[in-house]
Amino acid sequence: MAVGHKLENEELAGLHKKLFDSRKSNIQKYQELFIGRAGWLTLLRYELTILLLGQLPGALGLALRKIFYKPLFKNVGKNVVFGQNLTIRHPHKISLGDNVIIEDYCLLDAKGNDNEGITIGEWVTLGRMSSLTCKNGNIRIGSHINMGSSVKIVVADGGTIKIEDNVAIGSSCHFSGGSYDYSDKTVLPSARRLPTKGITIGQLTWIGAGVIVLDGADIGNNTIIGAGSIVTKSIPHNTIAAGMPAEVKKIRK
């Protein structure tokens, strides 16, 4: 892109393209980004629930969010705990199983035009400041999952990130379900996505703190990924892998 070139709306990437669309009102853009449904009643319910209860501290806040957050979502199981200051987008495409804990400052973003959104099973903990972000993709999380703080899971363009049952994920991990075409230096790579391959994390897998998993890199069952590793390709079942990029170091017998 030449210096001084003025970007047209169709060249803008991500939120800029949606937020600065002059064809839509601010209310329309807000509903598309956060709520996912039109209608003043839906907007009012969402706004009042988040405004009045989102920052309410203590046991009272936990109790009231357990009651009044439930209608916002597609499905909510028993004993779901909603922390303070959550950011929730397109909640009608988010399903939560029984005994789920969503700690403070988490992001649940099921945004997309035709995606299924986010599904979370039973006995799942989403650590403080973690985020599940769909960009017209899907996130499917099984049961008995423990995620540390600041875990980031992002999936785009019809792809799926799937985490199977009985998985531990360390703090500050990043799962990146999306790839970009950076061959044309005159265009931002983020404006030219490649087809998303997705990521699958197998059962009984332990992922150490600070691990990055890139699009298309599935991780097998009964596998351990060492802290700080970058997973760029699929890792087989029953192995211990580590490094940048991650390589199999040992077979688990």
How does pLDDT run across 161-182, given as a tens digit for each residue? 999 999 999 999 999 998 888 8
Q: Is the dihedral of CA 227, 127, 138, 221 positive or negative?
A: positive
Q: Determine the Cα–Cα distance for residues 226 and 130; give it in Å rounded to an integer.
A: 20
Look at residue 3 in the predicted model and tell me its pLDDT.
Answer: 46
% of the chain at pLDDT higher than 70: 91
Is residue 167 within 8 Å of residue 145, measured between CB atoms? yes
- Backbone φ and ψ of 2, nearest 5°: -70, 150
Look at residue 5 in the predicted model and tell me its pLDDT.
Answer: 47
Look at residue 15 in the predicted model and tell me its pLDDT.
Answer: 60
Is the confidence at residue 6, as pLDDT, over 80?
no
Q: Residue 193: pLDDT band by 50, 70, 90 thresholds?
A: confident
Q: Is the dihedral of CA 30, 33, 35, 38 positive or negative?
A: positive
Work out the average pLDDT over 223-248. Answer: 97
How does pLDDT run across 65-110, given as a tens digit for each residue? 999 999 999 999 999 999 999 999 999 999 999 999 999 999 999 9
How does pLDDT run across 101-131, given as a tens digit for each residue? 999 999 999 999 899 999 999 999 999 999 9
Instruction: Provide the mean pLDDT of the chain.
Output: 91
Q: Give which of 141, 145, 156, 162 is closest to 218, Cα–Cα.
A: 162
Domains annotated for the chain, with CATH where assigned, are 74-251 (2.160.10.10)
Look at residue 11 in the predicted model and tell me its pLDDT.
Answer: 47
Look at residue 50 in the predicted model and tell me its pLDDT.
Answer: 94
